[in-house]
Every structure is written in C-alpha cells, then in structure tokens.
Amino acid sequence: MRVVETGAELREVLLEYAGLAGRRVLVPTMGALHHGHLELVRLAREAAGPGGTVIVSIFVNPIQFDRSADLEAYPRPLESDLEKCLAAGVDVVFLPDRQSMYFPDRSTTVTESLLSSGLCGATRPGHFDGVCTVVLKLFLLSGCHAAVFGEKDFQQLAIIRRMVRDLDVPVEIIECPTVRESDGLAMSSRNVRLTSKQRADAPRIRRVLAAAAGLRDVEEILASARSGIEASPLARIDYLSLVDAETLQPVTRLERPAVLAAAVFYDEVRLIDHVGVAPL
C-alpha cells in the first residue's frame, strides 16, 4: 500500500498503475474509518476488478464544516485508519493537508442550487459547496473511473450524482447501502463522541423514522416522528422532513417515492438518518 500526501505525489504513484487492466476506483473519506467505510472499500475493490486500483482519500475537509467546534472535534485516528486500509487491500491512500488541497487565495467553488436547498443544506450553510468542491478535486486528482459513496448521506449522494450529470464528469457513482450497528444505529465516525447514555438512546432515530414511515398521511408521519424523537430528553431535532426521493423537495402528498429524513443533536454530536416512504 502506498501513502501519498500531495496531488503531485498521487499522480506520480498512479502512473505506476496506469497499465493495469482494471478500473481506478476512489473511496473519499474523512477518516475515522469504521465497518461502513470498509464496506465502501469492498465495493470499490469489486468495481475495480482483480487488476484495478483502489484509492482511499482521508481528508477532513475544512470548507464543508459550518461549525469550527465540529471541525476541531472530528476524530483523526490516522494510525488505525492506515492499518484498516492495509488490511482491506487498499492500493493507495491519499492523505493531503489543507495547504496541499487549497490555495490560500482560492476563489473557485462548486455550487449545486436545487437539491442542496433543504435538509442539511438549509441548516448547514455552505456545507454542500464544500462537499462538491472537494469531491470534484478528488475526482480530478485521482483520475478515477468510479467512486463509492454511502447511502446514509443520501442528500450528499444525490447532489454528487447531480454534479456529475450537470458537469459531464466521466465518473461512475456507486452507491453503498447504509451499514448499521446491531441495534440499528447508522454507523458514523461521530458515534464515538456519544456518551454511553446518548449511545444507548441514539438508535431511537431509526426506530422512530421506520415506524412513522408506515403511516399514510404526511402530517401524521411528521408528527409521529417528531414526537418519537422529542420523547428523549437527550435528543434535539435539527431538522425533520419528508421529501421527494428524486428532487429532495418537501412533499404534501405521497404520490411518488419519498424519504423521511432527520438530523438530531446529542449535545454537539449531530447524527443523520433516513428511511424510504412508499407512495400511496
């Protein structure tokens, strides 16, 4: 496994893999790798083929954080991450710092203006500008044929697909289903920051959303989900929305596939989850 820290080094190392028969597949991460990330790597290896190249980027992207405290507190267990990448058969780990990724006077940002208007985009100003910008840079630096993203961050996944479509980016986007703990909590690097009481309570997010999704009236769905989350004194709702599964715009009737999505704070730890809701 090769570990590189700049875009120039990445391109130089990838020249050694240029003659291989398989595809080049990227797994963009911010580190603090868990079993969910390793499932992304497994799908990447499958997509790359026996002779392909799997690249994992580990970069805590500062321009997608709307709260400096969240950026500072984000876990960075680098030694453990590299061990996991090696064990998973990753070929190249790209480990840049801020200075190598962004010029100090940078003035170009990638903005998506429709799918990012609600949900996390409404409560985290500039977040998806940062996501789109870094993802496009990683695509260009790696020259990847495909990239794997987790379905847990479904708004992010939809926005990246839209960016790729609108800008004719020649990268296949591969979706990985949400990987969960045994009690249903969606795996997240932020889970390690929960206290024991918060960790025990957090699976309610999934349970409440799944139960509400079985109802057939939009107002009842939202009311049920809200009351279920607010029943916990530890949980604070950031947003709770029922949106169209394709456009991510709020719905008032279940005429098309929809998504019930929530972001919930446990103190300063923000968790997201969602469930699909079938049309009537």
Residues classed as catalytic = 37
Please tell me the total number of residues recorded for the chain in this structure.
280
Q: How confident is the model at residue 66 (pLDDT cuts 50, 70, 90)?
A: confident
Calculate the alpha carbon distances from 18 to 11, 43, 233, 236 in Å: 10, 21, 55, 49
Closest CA to 124 of 191, 63, 37: 63
Percent of the chain with pLDDT over 90: 93
User: Is pLDDT above 80 for 270?
Assistant: yes
* Mean pLDDT, rounded, of the chain: 96
User: Is pLDDT above 90 for 162?
Assistant: yes
User: Is pLDDT above 80 for 10?
Assistant: yes
DSSP state of 170: -
pLDDT of residue 103: 96
User: Is pLDDT above 90 for 276?
Assistant: yes
> pLDDT tens digit string along 188-221?
999 999 999 999 999 999 999 999 999 999 999 9
pLDDT of residue 265: 98
User: Is pLDDT above 90 for 67?
Assistant: no
User: Is pLDDT above 90 for 280?
Assistant: no
User: Is pLDDT above 80 for 19?
Assistant: no
> pLDDT tens digit string along 235-255?
999 999 999 999 999 999 999
Strand (E) or helix (H) holding 238: strand 235-244
Give the mean pLDDT of 73-79. Answer: 93
User: Is pLDDT above 90 for 18?
Assistant: no
User: Is pLDDT above 90 for 22?
Assistant: no
Taking the C-alpha atoms of residue 13 and residue 4, their distance in angstroms, rounded to an integer, is 8
Taking the C-alpha atoms of residue 245 and residue 257, their distance in angstroms, rounded to an integer, is 6
Calculate the alpha carbon distances from 198 to 34, 42, 153, 215, 261 in Å: 19, 30, 21, 27, 20
User: Is pLDDT above 80 for 20?
Assistant: no
Give exposure, 57-95, as e/b (b: 16+ Cβ within 10 Å): bbbbbebbbeeeeeeeebbeeeeebbebbeebebbbbbb
* Domains of the chain, each with CATH number or no CATH: 2-176 (3.40.50.620), 189-275 (3.30.1300.10)
Q: pTM score > 0.85 for this model?
A: yes
